[in-house]
Amino acid sequence: MGIFDPWAGFGVTFNTMFRKTFTQGYPQKGKEKVTQPRFHGRHQLNRWPDGLEKCVGCELCAWACPADAIYVEGADNTDDNRFSPGERFGHVYQINYLRCIFCGLCIEACPTRALTMTNDFKLSDDSRTRLIYEKDDLLAPLLPGMEQPPHPRRLGDDEKAYFLGLPATGTPDTRTGSTAGATK
C-alpha cells in the first residue's frame, strides 16, 4: 500500500464536490431529464391495436412482486361485455407506489406483455392515496383507430385468428414443431 492511496479517495471526492448536478435548478431551469431506454419508471397496462386490454387477470405480476405492491382481481369476459380478447380480463388492477421498488419482476412475469414500464419518473405526491394507481391511471391511452372497451374483437373472429393477425406487419410462424428453433 502506497503512501498516497488514502489521498486518492479524497481526490475523487474533491473533484465531484463542485460539479453541477441535475437537481440544481430543476425543474425551473434547463432541459428535461432524459432517461436511458431501459429505465424502470411508472408502469403501463398496454392495449391491442383494436383497443382491447392485453391484461388477462392472471395475477402473475402480483405473485412475482417482492414488495407486495400489486393487487389484481380477474373477471370473466362475456360476448356482450368484452375487455380483452381472451376469456378473462383484469377487473381490478392497483399498484401501490409507496411499496413498489421498481425492480421489474412484474414485467418479466407477465405472459402477454400487458404490463411494461415507462420512462416517467415524476411520481412524487403529497397524498398517500394518490400514490395508489388504479387501472384507469395505468391503462395506455387510446391511439387513433382504437375503440374504448367493452366491444367485440375487431381483428379476428376467434382467438387464433386474432393473435395470428398480430402484429399487422409481421407474418405468423409457419414452421413445424421439429424445425422450430433449429439453426443451420
39-94: pLDDT as tens digits: 899 999 999 988 999 999 999 999 999 999 999 999 999 988 999 988 999 999 99
Show the cell assigned to 56.
388477462
| pLDDT at residue 95 in the model | 97
| pLDDT at residue 24 in the model | 62
CATH number at residue 116: 3.30.70.3270
Q: What is the pLDDT of residues 109-146, one digit of tens each?
A: 999 999 999 988 888 899 999 999 999 999 999 998 88
Distance from C-alpha of 4 to C-alpha of 15, rounded to nearest angstrom: 16
- Are residues 104 and 40 in contact, defined by beta-carbon separation less than 8 angstroms? yes
| pLDDT at residue 34 in the model | 74
Distance from C-alpha of 56 to C-alpha of 44, rounded to nearest angstrom: 14
- Dihedral over Cα of 136, 139, 145, 151: its sign: negative
Residues annotated within the binding site for [4Fe-4S] cluster are: 55, 58, 61, 65, 100, 103, 106, 110
Flag whether 117 is in a domain: yes
Give the rounded percent of residues in the chain with a pLDDT score beyond 70: 78
Flag whether 9 is in a domain: no
What does the mean pLDDT of the chain come to? 83
Flag whether 134 is in a domain: yes
Flag whether 10 is in a domain: no
| pLDDT at residue 142 in the model | 93
- Supply the range of the domain harboring residue 86: 33-146
Q: What is the pLDDT of residues 139-178, one digit of tens each?
A: 999 998 889 999 888 877 677 777 766 555 455 556 555 4
Flag whether 13 is in a domain: no
Show the cell assigned to 153.
374483437
- Are residues 86 and 56 in contact, defined by beta-carbon separation less than 8 angstroms? yes
Residues annotated within the binding site are: 55, 58, 61, 65, 100, 103, 106, 110
Flag whether 26 is in a domain: no
Flag whether 76 is in a domain: yes
Flag whether 24 is in a domain: no
Higher pLDDT, 143 or 15: 143
Number of domains in the chain: 1
